[in-house]
Structure 1
Amino acid sequence: MNYLVISPYYPENFQPFTIELAKKEGVKVLGIGQEPYDQLGEPLQNAITEYFRVENLEDIEEVKRATAFLFYKHGTIDRVESHNEHWLETDAALRSQFNIFGPKSEDLTKTKLKSEMKTYFKKAGVPVVPGQVITSEQDVQKAIADIGFPMIAKPDNGVGAAATYKLESLADIDQFFAEWDRQTAYFFEQFVTSNEIITYDGLIDHHGNVVYEASLEYVYTPLQLVLEQKDNAYFIHDKVNKKLRQYGQNIIKTFGMKERFFHIEFFRDGDDYIAIEYNNRPAGGFTIDAYNYAHSIDLYRDYASIVEGEAISERRYKPQFSLTISRRDQNHYVYSEEEIKHHYKDHVKMTCRMPEAFAALQGNMIYILTADNIKTINEMVKYIGKTK
């Protein structure tokens, strides 16, 4: 099997995907990126059979030419993947061009457009709130009449809470009009008062079966992170709620994805859940590491196993909670990093700097800790995030 990795170097915490794939006897790993070969470092250099450096990874035609060269030299390319939201369209375009297994360009509408996601959520029998696509000022007036205030406005094709507006009055509508470029399609939907966002995440095998599942809960919503510059914090639950699992697996079946990670966001609404967004990739940042620490597993290795058609690793240990929390350089905290490591010496699993590209949204310094119960998780959030 020839497996093409797009951007194998960045983000650095995704490098184990490439390294673990290369350990499989039947997998030859190829790479396309824009970093110089010498920058990759020895572990990646040893894992990649051939690396093609392009001047601009954003230039799809240049990337296609690089892929064609690797195809000519090494034979049929069987997989192409980045696991990265930024390159999902590039991945799909290459699969379409070279007839490679996995989501093609025409499959992206249901995983990129919020309006299309909602259609599939309804097919899956999962609760959603009313919403409408907005491409003109007349559409906005119709949404006001049909949905009413308050509403949330997001780019129909967008990630997280970027360029998001909370609309509670006509004054907010005027502000939206003043900033909207009239080219970006928006999706307006009824504002949900719940501040509890929880996810159903996991890994699907070649046959569409969920072989790993987890549930992640945000301490602050993505909108709060943007508007209030809160410290990003979320935790992995030790187990998945039964109703959430049913909703999530119905969605997986309806979307029809195979051999890939997924990250589905919901509002918790009392004892029920309202679907927000389907992400056809793993959760961002260092979340895979958080899953690994919470459940004492290695998802990088497990992914390589499902690509090779093997069984995944046996789950030998009882799952725990796992907290990921960030701190911002501009804030003044009560407790130093040394004090955190001493106070939670048996719990701290990982500390690292967030790449600058993600720091504005997610913070500069990341801490991952484990705990046996939610009470300890809540104490950790207060201790680490306490400011002077």
Structure 2
Amino acid sequence: MNYLVISPFYPENFQPFTVELSKKEDVTVLGIGQEPYDQLPEELRSALTEYFRVENLENLDEVKRAAAFLIYKHGPIDRVESHNEHWLESDAALREQFNIFGVKPKQLKRTKHKSEMKKFFTKVGVPVAPGMLVKKDKDIEKALKKIGFPIIAKPDNGVGAAGTFKLTKKADVDAFKEAWDGQTTYFFEKFIDLQEIVTYDGLIDSKGEVVFETSLVYAHAPLELLLSNKDNAYYIEKELDPKLAEYGRAIIKAFGMKERFFHIEFFKDGRDYIAIEYNNRIAGGFTVEAYNYAHSIDLFRDYANIVTGQEVADRPFAPQYCLVATRRDKTNYVHSEDEIKQRYADNIKTIKRMPDAFAELQGNSAYILTADHLEVIQEMIDYIGKTR
């Protein structure tokens, strides 16, 4: 098997995907990235049979030429993946161009466009907020009449909370019109006044079956983080709510993906849930580490197993809660990092520096800790994030 990794260096905490694949017999791991070869760590260089450096990964034609060269030299590519939201469309285009297994652009549309996601959620009976596509100025008035204030306006094909507007009155609509380029298609949907956002996350095997599932809870919603510049904090649940799992599995079946991670966001509405969006990749930041610590597993190895037709590892240990709490360099906190380490010496697993690309939204340092009780997790969030 020839496995092509797009951007094997960045983000750095995804490098183990490449390393674990290289340990499998009959798997040749190739890479295309824009970092110089000498910048790659020794372990990553050793895992790659060949690395092709391009000037710009944004230039799809350049990436396609690099892939064509690697195919000429090593034979057909069997898989191509980045695990990164930013490169999902490029990954899909490469699969279509070179007839590679996996998600093609047509399939990707259903997971990139919020309007398309809603159709699949509704099809399997999962609650959603009412919404409407806005392509032209005249659509805005139609949406206001159909949905009514308050409204959340998001790019139909967008990531996270970027480009999001909350519309509660006419002045907000005027501000949106002023900022809107008129070219980006937006999706207007009813603002749901619920504070708790949870996810159904996991890994799908080559048959489309879920082989790992979990859930995380955000201390602050992504839009709140964007608007308030608060510290980010979320935790992996110790147990999965059966209702959430029921909705999540139905969605997975409807979308029909294979050999992929997924990250599906929901509002928690009492004992029920309202679907927000489907992300056709693993959650960003250091969430994969949090999954691993919470469940005492190695998802990097599990992924390599399913790609090569093997079973995921047994789960011999009971899960724990796992917290990811971030802090900003510019904020004056009550408790120092040394005090955090001392207070939670039995809980803290690692401290990571956030890549610059994510730091503005998520913070500069990430603290990853485990606990058996939710009360301890809540105390950690308060203690780590307390400011002067």
TM-score range normalised by the length of the shorter chain: over 0.9
Instruction: Quote the residue 2:339 is aligned against.
Output: 339
Equivalent residue runs for 1:203-218 within 5 Å? 203-218=203-218
- Shift of the alpha carbon at 1:352? 1.2
SS of structure 1 residue aligned to 2:333: coil
Residues 198 and 217 of structure 1 are in contact (CA less than 8 Å); yes or no, is this contact kept in structure 2? yes
Instruction: Quote the residue 1:259 is aligned against.
Output: 259
State the Cα deviation string for residues 26-65 of structure 1 (Å, max 9, x = none): 2110000011111112101110001001111110000000
- Shift of the alpha carbon at 1:367? 0.4
Residues 150 and 168 of structure 1 are in contact (CA less than 8 Å); yes or no, is this contact kept in structure 2? yes
CA distance in 1, matches of 2:129, 2:87: 29
Instruction: Quote the residue 2:166 is aligned against.
Output: 166
State the Cα deviation string for residues 220-278 of structure 1 (Å, max 9, x = none): 00011011111010000011100000000000000000001000000001110000000
State the Cα deviation string for residues 191-247 of structure 1 (Å, max 9, x = none): 000011000000000000000001000000001101111101000001110000000
CA distance in 2, matches of 1:125, 1:255: 14
CA distance in 1, matches of 2:375, 2:158: 34
| Identity score, percent | 66
Instruction: Quote the residue 1:175 is aligned against.
Output: 175
Instruction: Quote the residue 1:19 is aligned against.
Output: 19
- Shift of the alpha carbon at 1:19? 0.1
Equivalent residue runs for 1:65-104 within 5 Å? 65-104=65-104
Instruction: Quote the residue 2:63 is aligned against.
Output: 63
Instruction: Quote the residue 2:49 is aligned against.
Output: 49
Residues 263 and 278 of structure 1 are in contact (CA less than 8 Å); yes or no, is this contact kept in structure 2? yes
CA distance in 1, matches of 2:105, 2:68: 18
State the Cα deviation string for residues 325-384 of structure 1 (Å, max 9, x = none): 100111100000000000000000010110101100110110000000110000000000
Instruction: Quote the residue 2:133 is aligned against.
Output: 133
Instruction: Quote the residue 1:120 is aligned against.
Output: 120
CA distance in 2, matches of 1:236, 1:311: 23
CA distance in 2, matches of 1:275, 1:41: 40
What is the one-letter code of the residue matched to 1:246?
E
Residues 128 and 276 of structure 1 are in contact (CA less than 8 Å); yes or no, is this contact kept in structure 2? yes
Is 2:320 the counterpart of 1:320? yes
Instruction: Quote the residue 1:156 is aligned against.
Output: 156
SS of structure 1 residue aligned to 2:45: helix
SS of structure 2 residue aligned to 1:108: helix
Unaligned runs of 5+ in 2: none
CA distance in 2, matches of 1:21, 1:255: 26
Instruction: Quote the residue 1:234 is aligned against.
Output: 234
SS of structure 2 residue aligned to 1:5: strand
TM-score by length of 1: 0.99
Instruction: Quote the residue 2:385 is aligned against.
Output: 385
Residues 26 and 308 of structure 1 are in contact (CA less than 8 Å); yes or no, is this contact kept in structure 2? no
SS of structure 2 residue aligned to 1:195: coil
What is the one-letter code of the residue matched to 2:297?
I
Number of residue pairs matched by the alignment: 388
Residues 17 and 301 of structure 1 are in contact (CA less than 8 Å); yes or no, is this contact kept in structure 2? yes
Instruction: Quote the residue 2:362 is aligned against.
Output: 362
State the Cα deviation string for residues 127-168 of structure 1 (Å, max 9, x = none): 001100011111110111110000101000001111111110
SS of structure 1 residue aligned to 2:9: coil
CA distance in 2, matches of 1:239, 1:75: 45
What is the one-letter code of the residue matched to 2:35?
E
SS of structure 2 residue aligned to 1:335: coil
SS of structure 2 residue aligned to 1:92: helix
Q: After the TM superposition, which parts of structure 1 deviate over 2 Å for at least 4 consecutive aligned residues?
A: none
Residues 5 and 31 of structure 1 are in contact (CA less than 8 Å); yes or no, is this contact kept in structure 2? yes
Residues 233 and 326 of structure 1 are in contact (CA less than 8 Å); yes or no, is this contact kept in structure 2? yes
CA distance in 2, matches of 1:94, 1:239: 38
What is the one-letter code of the residue matched to 1:124?
V
Instruction: Quote the residue 1:30 is aligned against.
Output: 30
CA distance in 2, matches of 1:372, 1:251: 30
Instruction: Quote the residue 1:248 is aligned against.
Output: 248
- Shift of the alpha carbon at 1:74? 0.5
Equivalent residue runs for 1:281-292 within 5 Å? 281-292=281-292
CA distance in 2, matches of 1:8, 1:311: 24
Is 2:111 the counterpart of 1:111? yes
Residues 216 and 237 of structure 1 are in contact (CA less than 8 Å); yes or no, is this contact kept in structure 2? yes
What is the one-letter code of the residue matched to 1:150?
P
Instruction: Quote the residue 2:309 is aligned against.
Output: 309
- Shift of the alpha carbon at 1:169? 0.4
